[in-house]
Amino acid sequence: MDALLEQLKRNVEAAVDGISAEQLHWHPPNKWCAAQILEHLYLSYTGTTRGFQRVLGTGKAAVMRGSIWQRTRAMVVFGLNYLPSGRDAPASTRPKGLSEEKVRDEIWEKVAAMDAIIAEAEARFRPETPLLDHPFLGPLNGAQWRRFHLLHGMHHRRQILRLREQRPQAK
């Protein structure tokens, strides 16, 4: 697996290591719990994989010309290694109630499958070619997709760690 995605795996696993079922499901009002965050990540990996499957199936990149706003956001994300907060997740990546066991058992298989299909597309089209549009960042190449998923995972890792700290202690 790509080194960035290995780093993602190590960091997210460390954030949930030893987390209790109570901690996994606790959340402040109107916020996701750690289980929902993990499901969101899982759905983002499967969504990226499906997008790359379409690219390989059609034999052409699935990109439009990025808007000025998308290009600006991409410069912030990739130039500063910073993923801004406050965006609503695309509907396809919002938690749907998948079982906690399914997500925890399969999440890293989904990352490996995503990495493999990105590598296949890079080999077919050239690594620097923008291959698939991101809903907020516009057209990204394979390396940018991997980096996005690392930054996105680290963003949510911080949220999981905050949830662990904020959970009220039992009396």
Query: How many domains in the chain?
Result: 1
155, 83 Cβ separation under 8 angstroms: yes
- What is the tens place of the pLDDT at every residue in 98-122? 999 999 999 999 999 999 999 999 9
Which residues does residue 132 pair with via DSSP β-bridges, in sequence order? 62, 140
41 domain-assigned: yes
- What is the tens place of the pLDDT at every residue in 140-155? 999 999 999 999 999 9
- The type of residue at 4 is L
Q: Provide the domain limits for residue 26.
A: 3-166
10 domain-assigned: yes
For residue 29, what is the domain's CATH number? 1.20.120.450
171 domain-assigned: no
First to last CA, the chain: 44
Cα dihedral 67/69/74/79 (nearest 10): 130
Is residue 171 predicted with pLDDT exceeding 50?
Answer: no
- pLDDT-derived band of residue 170, with 50, 70 and 90 as boundaries? low
Q: What pLDDT is stored for residue 86 in this prediction?
A: 83
- What is the tens place of the pLDDT at every residue in 34-71? 999 999 999 999 999 999 999 999 999 989 988 999 99
Helix axes 142-166, 100-125, angle to 10 degrees: 160
